[in-house]
Amino acid sequence: MSSSGSSEEDEPTTRDKRTLDMNHGFLYHIRRNQYDRDNYDKKVKNDRINKKAQVNRNYRPENKHYQPPSKRGDKNDESSRTDKGKSLFKLEYTSDNGKVHSIMVKENDEPLRLAKRLVNTAGIPPDLLETLEWKISQEQLKRKK
């Protein structure tokens, strides 16, 4: 028996051969990935908390109050504010200094009023007022049809 017992001790049993070989390093990579993931999750959580704190401290809603057009500085032609007719054409005049003066002509505008406004703003000689009035009325008639 002693001889058979000593031979069993020298040879590894099948039970010892079935153990898992852990020298491949696979578990090391799994642990390292878990550690990196935990650190990343902590960082993201801290960033989210810090971001909320910054937003809450610095956030002030912009107060948008109504301002009437006169206070806003919007400049509209008085003809577009008062007359609600269909726009026929845009009358443009280039003065001697190169500045372009434009007026929207509508179907129910008065040619004399438009001509006076253009003469005053563009520096057109007053003796051309009647000619300008006639031209505006002719263009209105032509485009109304």
Q: Are residues 96 and 140 in the same domain?
A: yes
Mean pLDDT computed over every residue of the chain = 78
Q: Are residues 46 and 83 in the same domain?
A: no
DSSP track, 77-124:
-HHHHH----EEEEEEEE-TTS-EEEEEEETT--HHHHHHHHHHHHT-
Q: Which of the four pLDDT bands, split at 50, 70 and 90, describes residue 45? A: very high
Q: Which of the four pLDDT bands, split at 50, 70 and 90, describes residue 19? A: confident
Q: For the segment 66-98, what is each residue's pLDDT rounded down to a tens digit?
A: 888 888 876 654 544 555 678 888 888 888 888
Total domain count for the chain?
2
Q: Which domain holds residue 126?
A: 75-144
**pLDDT given for residue 46 in this prediction:** 92
State the DSSP code for 11.
S
Q: What is the mean pLDDT of residues 125-144?
A: 87
Q: Is 80 a member of any domain?
A: yes
Torsion of CA 74, 77, 78, 83, to 10 degrees: -120
Q: Are 136 and 115 in contact (CB under 8 A)?
A: yes
**pLDDT given for residue 79 in this prediction:** 45
